[in-house]
Amino acid sequence: MFIHYIDLAWRSLKRTPIVSLLMLLAIAIGIGITMTSLSVYHMMSVNPMQHKDEQIFAVQLRTMDQDASWWTVDNLPHQLTYQDAMNLRQSPVPFRQTAMLKTGFGVKPDNANIAPFMEVARAADSDFFAMFEVPFAHGGPWDKRIDLQGETVAVIGAEMNRKLFGGGNNVGKDIVLDSVAYRVVGILADWKLEPQIYDLNNGAWGNNEQLFIPFSLLPIEELKSWGNNNGWKYEEQKTYQDKLNSEVVWLQYRVELTDKQMQQDYRDYLAGYIKQQQQLGRFNRDDAQGDIKYISQWLDYREVVSDDNKVLVGLSFMFLAVCLANILSLLLAKFLKRAPEIGVRRALGASKTQVFMQHLVEVGMLGLAGGVLGLAIAQLGLHLLRSGFSRYEQVAQMDLTMWLAAPTISILACLLAGCYPAWKVCRTTPALYLKTQ
């Protein structure tokens, strides 16, 4: 019977091609626009390390003096000062931890055919790679010893490896960064971590570095910051050492705390650390406090999915609702015009349920077709977003979930719009149209 309904639905759609086309377009455009905004939203709200969501934490300290305040909702800076980062690195509590700085170099390739270029780099501790599950093709992270002493070693990304060496295992070779030679200890496999949960300061997408060096080199090589530097008071900075001693926040800090106990221990540790620093004359405020936020809290807190995106999704669903209202009225007119035929079917033994199902199948088919066409429109929409705005390059994408969601939403939406017309027509009194032709 179901196949028969499909056959009937197909004939019915063919019989009124213009109306069918209008309905198809209405649903397809509605779905297309909804899926475009929903896909962007979906990609933006992806958590790339769901399996370690409540284990990796960003560390924050409210370091400002009593009368100073920060612009964040919870009055906490996003980053740490050098002093605090160096002190926290001493903590025995975390399973893994890393202080980080976004920096960069002029890279001078060995090969004379390749012009020197500027390259972003990340100074981090060796735990970084394991914490964020960064895959290695050759070699590995530098030794933990180097995290303490500082040594000019580097881990390079797969792309950088191709660019500098044309690929292959080049562990042990040197690269020259700002005229200092760094020995390559590890080469990454192709890798992407987006949104870039370890540092969201300069955009969440498309920023994974190709060059990593030990954080311990920071005072030795006087690494420049290529990221954000924020302060809450005026401090003269004549030398690099002045910056290291300042209250400027410019370093990211992440800890891996594997269980609830460790997390509590770390909170206690932070509280103790603040007390200790207050005795040294820092953190002059009553509500001096530390905080740790796990990945999805951090993504939320940093508004990786902005309110604009949410509003856009809401608006596009409202647009879809308008499309559905149109479809509803078209369906109602179409179905009621068919009432005489339905009267005959009822008289020949069709139950209300069967009539209802016949019409729902028709509406469902419309939804399926609309969903498929809507997918095409959404692809076009995403393509336009990608080509028009570079910041959408990574997020204007559709993953499998969205591919499946499109026809599902479309069919459900159509069934919703079709319920009332189908119910209306199945209530046709059989005899009403039978007396005369």
Partner 1 sequence: MLNMTNISKVYRSEMVQTHALRDFNLQVNEGEFIAVTGPSGSGKTTFLNIAGMLETYTGGTYELDGINVGKLTDNGRAELRNQKIGFIFQGFNLIPDLNLYENVEVPLRYRGIKTAERKRRIERCLEQVGLGARAKHVPAQLSGGQQQRVAIARALAGEPRFLLADEPTGNLDSLMARQVMELLESINKDGATIIMVTHDPELARRAQRNIQVVDGQICDFKLYQGGAEQQRATAGA
Q: Find out whether 108 and 261 touch, Cβ atoms under 8 Å.
A: no
What element of type H or E holds 120? strand 117-124
Nearest residue (CB) to partner 1, 96 versus 345: 345
List all residues 6 or more positions away from 402 whose beta carbon is below 8 Å from its beta carbon. Answer: 35, 38, 39, 42
What element of type H or E holds 243? helix 240-245
Shortest reach from residue 356's CB to partner 1, in Å: 11
Shortest reach from residue 419's CB to partner 1, in Å: 18
Count CA atoms closer than 13 A to 78's CA, side-chain side.
22
Shortest reach from residue 435's CB to partner 1, in Å: 6
Shortest reach from residue 429's CB to partner 1, in Å: 7
Shortest reach from residue 7's CB to partner 1, in Å: 9
Shortest reach from residue 338's CB to partner 1, in Å: 10
Q: Find out whether 36 and 28 touch, Cβ atoms under 8 Å.
A: no
Shortest reach from residue 4's CB to partner 1, in Å: 6
Q: Is the dihedral of CA 257, 44, 132, 200 positive or negative?
A: negative
For residue 322, give the amino acid letter. V
Nearest residue (CB) to partner 1, 135 versus 340: 340
Count CA atoms closer than 13 A to 41's CA, side-chain side.
18
Q: Give first-to-last CA distance, the chain, whole Å.
A: 28
Q: How many Å apart are CA 213 and CA 377, to the nearest integer?
A: 45
44: phi > 0 → left, psi -120 to 50 → alpha, else beta; which?
alpha
Nearest residue (CB) to partner 1, 241 versus 429: 429
Q: Find out whether 204 and 304 touch, Cβ atoms under 8 Å.
A: yes
Nearest residue (CB) to partner 1, 11 versus 233: 11
Nearest residue (CB) to partner 1, 64 versus 342: 342
Nearest residue (CB) to partner 1, 9 versus 184: 9
The radius of gyration of the chain's CA atoms, rounded to the nearest angstrom, is 31
Phi, psi of 316, rounded to the nearest 5 degrees: -70, -30
Q: Find out whether 204 and 46 touch, Cβ atoms under 8 Å.
A: no
Shortest reach from residue 336's CB to partner 1, in Å: 16
Q: How many Å apart are CA 376 and CA 336, to the nearest integer?
A: 32
Nearest residue (CB) to partner 1, 14 versus 238: 14
Nearest residue (CB) to partner 1, 12 versus 207: 12
Residue 364 neighbours by CB distance under 10 Å: 20
What is the binding site for partner 1 (CB under 8 A)? 1, 4, 11-12, 15, 340-341, 343-354, 429-431, 433-437
Widest CA span in the chain: 101
Nearest residue (CB) to partner 1, 319 versus 433: 433
Shortest reach from residue 304's CB to partner 1, in Å: 54
